[in-house]
Amino acid sequence: MKKIIIVSLSCIFLFGFSLSAFAITAVPTNVTSITAVIKIINTIANYVFAILLALAVVMLLLAAFNWLTSGGSEEKVGSARKMLIWALVGIAVALAAKGLVKIIEALIV
C-alpha cells in the first residue's frame, strides 16, 4: 500500500512541474478584444487539459497495478477494467475539451 501511495504522489509531483510550462504565457488583464478573451480561454483550457491528463495517467497506472495484482479474481479484474475504462474516458474528455476550444477559436477568429 505504501508503494502505491509513493508512486501516485511521485507521479503527481512530476506532472505538477509540467504545469509550470503554462505559466510562461501571459494572460491579458485588460480584455478589450475577442482575441484577448480567446487567449484567456485557451490558457484556462491548457491548465485543465494538463490536470486531466495527469489524473488520467495516474488512474491508468493504478488500473494496471490492480489488474496485475488481482490474482485472477473476477471481482478485482472487473474493478480494474472499470477503472481503466474511466481513465480512457477522462483522456477522451480532455482531448474533446481541447479540441472544442480550438474549434470555437477557428469559428470566431
* DSSP type of residue 28: P
* Residues sharing a CB contact under 8 Å with residue 59, sequence separation 6 or more, in sequence order: 83, 86, 87, 90
Residue 5 has a pLDDT of 67
For 22-54, the pLDDT digits (tens) are: 555 555 566 778 878 888 888 888 888 888 888
HSE on the CB side for 95, CA within 13 Å?
7
Query: What pTM did the predictor assign?
Result: 0.63
57 vs 15: CA distance, rounded Å: 10
64 vs 59: CA distance, rounded Å: 8
- Grid coordinates representing 77 are 479484474
